[in-house]
Amino acid sequence: MAAAEDWSSYGGQIFRSRKPPLLGSVVVDDLEALMKEKFKDNPGPYNFVAGGASTGVTQVTNRKAFNRWKIVPRMLRDVTKRDISVTLFDRKLPAPVAFSPVGAQGIFHEDGDLASARAAGKLGIPFSMSTVASRSIGQVAEACGTGPRWFQLYWPESDELTASILSRAEAAGFDVLLLTLDTMRVGWRPRDLNSAYVPMAHGYSAQVFTADPVFMAKNNLPPTEEHAPFPYNPHEVDAAYLSGDPAIKQRVDLSLHVISQMTNGVFRSWEDMAFVRKTWKGPLLLKGIQCVEDAILAMEHGANGIVVSNHGGRQLDGAIGSLTALARICADPRVRKAQQLGTFTVLFDSGVRSGSDIIKAIALGAQTVLVGRPYVYGLALGGEAGVDAVMRSILADLDISLALSGYKSISEIWHKRDEVLVEDDT
Ligand SMILES: Cc1cc2nc3c(=O)[nH]c(=O)nc-3n(C[C@H](O)[C@H](O)[C@H](O)COP(=O)(O)O)c2cc1C
Ligand SMILES: O=C(O)C(=O)c1ccccc1
């Protein structure tokens, strides 16, 4: 592992360069607006990433939940030397930060998932590859380089297919599995409905499957590493499909078969978990947990941890804010004890945008947070370099915020919840 980076120096580099930051702003909301502008003639991909479920209230609640807690900074403490690294599953990570799994990245940039995986790998931050990625398992694994590789599973109906995907992910060096539970069917998303656009229907999220021998054998085809092109125009894809263009027709039809395998409205049960637990030997985390009872059930069914998440407010509208759920789950003495013993790991996502957000999540009991939309805006605006810029900004903000709070390390924050935070929703 390289010498610890001084993440806080990122701002100084910008000032010395006398040039605005790479993407024009280091503010996530600005990047969202810049992406909207860039995609104004083809708004589907922007609507897809920026939108939430139904009225959008849970997406807003996720952000508001952070405001319910405030950090109480301490002065005159020796925090010149700090360490924002953490250890997860016996591996040292540079920061308590990972990439959330995001499907269909090929709709945002020509390099798709490869750009994000390369940026993650060079930073040494875990990249979570989605089941509905736009590139194959082998391609993403290579792009991660020496960085940690996590794999996210949307649970296929066929056990044979599940076993095939998991064994290929393991063979490609993915060593942590996130099993997403909150998307047995995709939520009601008005923005996607209004633009009549989802990437699945255009063949941008089937590459894990089209490279899979079991899936392709069921369709009487050989596995392929090919992927859909960029730039693309969904109207051209539709027109080609309707006119019977055989290549496009095959891509879209296979993509529809993928949907019929998962996110298809067939809901699984806790009993079904035994198969995934038996099939995946490494750490297994359940993504989408929002209450204490389900965290305990996760433990009882042999999961090694959870990702407290509401999918960035994209699934159940009106759901509890994810940070509020985190606080309730980690206040439970059984969860806390298992975390301390190292037998259960609690990660968090949905709404993380800044360094202070990360400090709050850690103080409330998360061991690492995942970041979703912010890096996608970086990808859409600047490919690999754009993703790198977004993540470096968040890490710099985290390191500086840790110092200004008067703490030296992430574990100090984790152990001192009552000292670090006060409840105050002004
Ligand atoms: C465009 C997009 C695609 C996503 N695709 C997946 C996916 O394939 N699998 C998954 O488990 N979660 C997926 N998510 C949810 C993220 O993993 C994560 O839970 C969420 O984005 C976190 O909230 P944030 O965007 O506010 O950081 C997706 C989110 C977005 C924005
Ligand atoms: O949009 C999502 O949140 C998501 O999980 C997904 C589902 C299918 C394809 C791409 C992304």
Residue 46 assigned as binding residue: no
Q: Whose CA is nearest to atom 4 of ligand 1?
A: 102
Q: Which helix (H) or strand (E) holds 416?
A: none
Q: Whose CA is nearest to atom 8 of ligand 1?
A: 103
Any domain includes 79: yes
Residue 268 assigned as binding residue: no
Q: Whose CA is nearest to atom 21 of ligand 1?
A: 372
Residue 319: per-residue pLDDT: 98
Q: Which ligand is nearest to the CA of 154?
A: 1
Closest CA to 285 of 178, 391, 188, 180: 178
CB-based contacts of 317: which residues, under 8 Å, 6+ apart? 52, 53, 54, 55, 56, 57, 58, 187, 188
Check pocket membership of 202 for ligand 2, CB cut-off 6 A.
no
How many angstroms separate the alpha carbon of residue 404 from the centre of ligand 1? 30
Q: What is the pLDDT of residues 246-288, one digit of tens each?
A: 999 999 999 999 999 998 999 999 999 999 999 999 999 999 9
Number of domains the chain is built from: 1
Any domain includes 197: yes
Any domain includes 241: no
pLDDT band at 232 (very low <50, low <70, confident <90, very high): confident
Instruction: Give me 146's structure tokens.
Output: 């020496």
Active site residues: 311
CATH code for position 85:
3.20.20.70
Instruction: Give me 28's structure tokens.
Output: 């996530």
Atom of ligand 2 nearest to the CA of 101: 5
pLDDT of residue 77 exceeding 80: yes
Any domain includes 372: yes
Residue 234: per-residue pLDDT: 86
How many angstroms separate the alpha carbon of residue 316 from the centre of ligand 2? 14
Domain that holds residue 190: 7-202+264-423
Any domain includes 251: no
Any domain includes 58: yes
Any domain includes 2: no
Give the whole-angstrom CA distance, residue 260 versus residue 265. 9
pTM exceeds 0.90 for this model: yes
Check pocket membership of 104 for ligand 2, CB cut-off 6 A.
yes
ipTM of predicted assembly, 2 dp: 0.99
Any domain includes 220: no
CB-based contacts of 290: which residues, under 8 Å, 6+ apart? 308, 309, 310, 319, 320, 322, 325
Beta-sheet pairing, 97-99 with 368-371: parallel
Q: What is the pLDDT of residues 78-108, one digit of tens each?
A: 999 999 999 999 999 999 999 999 999 999 9
Give the whole-angstrom CA distance, residue 179 versus residue 175. 13
